[in-house]
Amino acid sequence: MLKILKYSFYDLMRSRWSYVYFLFYLLLGIVLLFLNNDLSKAVITLMNVIIILVPLIGTIFGVMYYYNSREFTELLLAQPVKRSSIFLGQYFGVATSLTMSLIIGLGMPFVFYGIFNSSAIWDFSLLLITGAFLTFIFTALAFVIALSNENRIKGFGYAILLWLFMAVIYDGLFLMSLLYFEDYPLDKFSLVATMLNPVDLSRVLILLKLDISALLGYTGAVFQKFFGTSFGLILSFVMLVFWVVVPTFFIWRIAKRKDF
């Protein structure tokens, strides 16, 4: 598995897309810092980018990579290699290289700007950690979709739909249910609903670390009380890990049974 991971990783590292992705983040970081001159404000803007773009790119890239390397995968399958290690290797290769691009691309401008001497360092690291998690989660989901759909168009369609659901539609449903049940106490419900969607969970985790958390008022206080404790933080990271592990398990299972 490690060999395939290594191969996928190097293959991607040499590919154009990784560079484009890396350069995009590098540029974004530089532009943000030039325009803002304020590290903590830049972190807020980055948050918007990370919780929307990172899942999108993870999804599209995962699906694309799977379909593109299909012929090579078939060649590999003819060799005496375990199936699960082929697909898991590819998955981890893609996810790791995307994460690398994200962390190095964003990290470099901020490091040169002096993030280590700034109080925003923790916010920034949290941002990168959640970004990495989101990459792993959505690449895994993309692989699951790609593995279960032979038809490329269908696969792409489902992948986009998945992203749309997580990033937009879920919040819409969430909002509707909050408005519909406004007569009931909603603290617990909103906590649970936030925990269930990795995009929302990342957003809230970052928001609570920033100054604007004071805007959240009473609801924010409930959330702060939950996520502020180490139990809440651990639970939310467990949740994120869970979101990585479950799709990975599905990759493993589908790959084992799939007929090529």
| Contacting residues toward another protein, per CB under 8 A | 47-48, 51-52, 167-169, 171-172, 174-175, 178-179, 182, 186-187, 190, 194, 200, 203-204, 207, 211-212, 214-221, 223
CB of 181: closest distance to another protein in angstroms?
A: 9
Token digits of residue 243 = 């979101």
Q: Which two tokens stand for residue 152?
A: 């490329």
| For another protein, the closer CB: 203 or 209 | 203
Helix 16-36 with 2-14: angle, nearest 10 deg: 60
Least distance from C-beta 44 to another protein, angstroms? 8
Q: Which is nearer to another protein, 107 or 220 (CB)?
A: 220
Closest separation in Å from C-beta 119 to another protein: 15
Q: Which two tokens stand for residue 18?
A: 């990784």
Give 188-217 as a DSSP string.
HHHHHHHHH-HHHHHHHHHHHHSGGGGGGH
CB of 217 to another protein, least distance (A): 6
Least gap, CB of 43 to another protein (angstroms): 12
* Residue among 31 and 214 whose Cβ is closer to another protein: 214
In the complex with another protein, the residue whose CB is nearer, 77 or 222, is 222
Q: Count of CB atoms within 10 A of residue 200's CB?
A: 19
Contact assessment for residue 113 and residue 219, using Cβ atoms and an 8 Å cutoff: no
Amino acid, res. 117: N
Distance CA 12, CA 17 (A): 8
Nearer to another protein (CB atom), residue 113 or residue 226: 226
